Amino acid sequence: MGKKSDTELIIGGIRIDKRLPDQTREIKMKVGNILSANGSAEVSFGNTTALASVHGPRQLFPRHLQESQTGILRVRYNMAPFSVDERKSPGPDRRSTELSKVIRLALEPAVFLDDYPKVTVDGFVEIIQADGSTRVTGINALSLALATAGIPMKDLVAACSVGKINGTLVVDLNGEEDNNSESDVAVAMIPNRNLVTLLQMDGMLTKEELMHLLDLAKKTCKKIYEMQREALLEKYKGEE
């Protein structure tokens, strides 16, 4: 990531997977698919698929971890060993620990944790298939899972990746683009409030390029947000 690539990823304005620069991969969303969880969701961006589940609110032990005035959101991000072509070693590593924190920080501004003092809401993100942009796919899935769990939220959090490949600014990087990008940026936001909750950048961009990418990310997040709402409405419309 963040290095100039000798690989031709855009030819004649068309990306290697036949997309235009500002076009996302096919996005699929499904909620309520893990019956043992209080809330759950599955989100796919092309060949990247994240399963998310939420458990709680529930008592937090040991007690010294409790906060008297607020609840705690805990997140665990994990990539399944079979999610990538070369089998990943099972168990946590430095990257999964970092992304667990990143996803938690992206979602915390949307959750009313003050309603649950001394308890925890536990969120789990499992990447079952990885082809780039796994952290933002996980954020979208866990946001939906929190909503289906009935956790009070200001609004949903929507997320996407943007970046620069072969000198072109693009949306929703796939795995090959991610690995050979000149720059990639992960963005999460609460679209209705125009509030950015995550901005992570690898690589170099000019100020003008970054501002253009942020504009692309905001437009894309608004589209994703509408898809999240539709997934929730479809779920609960079917239960009437």
pLDDT, tens digit, 9 for 90 and up, residues 162-201? 999 999 999 999 999 999 999 999 999 999 999 999 999 9
Q: Write out the two tokens for 37.
A: 């969880």
Q: Write out the two tokens for 166.
A: 């072969």
- Coil, helix or strand at residue 78: strand
pLDDT, tens digit, 9 for 90 and up, residues 69-128? 888 999 999 999 888 766 666 667 889 999 999 999 999 999 998 888 888 999 999 999
Q: Write out the two tokens for 97.
A: 């620990």
pLDDT of 236 over the 50 cut: yes
pLDDT, tens digit, 9 for 90 and up, residues 30-80? 999 999 999 999 999 999 999 999 999 988 776 766 667 888 999 999 999
| Strand-pair partners of 73 | 121
For position 1, what pLDDT does the model report? 44
Angle between helices 134-148 and 94-107 (to 10 degrees): 50
For position 84, what pLDDT does the model report? 78
Among residues 163, 156, 232, 144, the alpha carbon closest in space to that of 202 is found at 163
Q: What mean pLDDT value characterizes the chain?
A: 91
Report the predicted TM-score, pTM, of the whole model to 2 decimal places: 0.92
Contact 145, 31 (CB under 8 A): yes
Among residues 122, 116, 125, 134, the alpha carbon closest in space to that of 48 is found at 134
For position 6, what pLDDT does the model report? 64
Q: How far apart are the first and last CA of the chain?
A: 47
Q: Residue 12: which H helix or E strand, with range? A: none
Residue 87 or residue 227, greater confidence? 227
Q: Where are the domains of the chain?
A: 10-237
CATH, range 10-237: 3.30.230.70
Alpha-carbon distance 34 to 171, whole Å?
Answer: 30
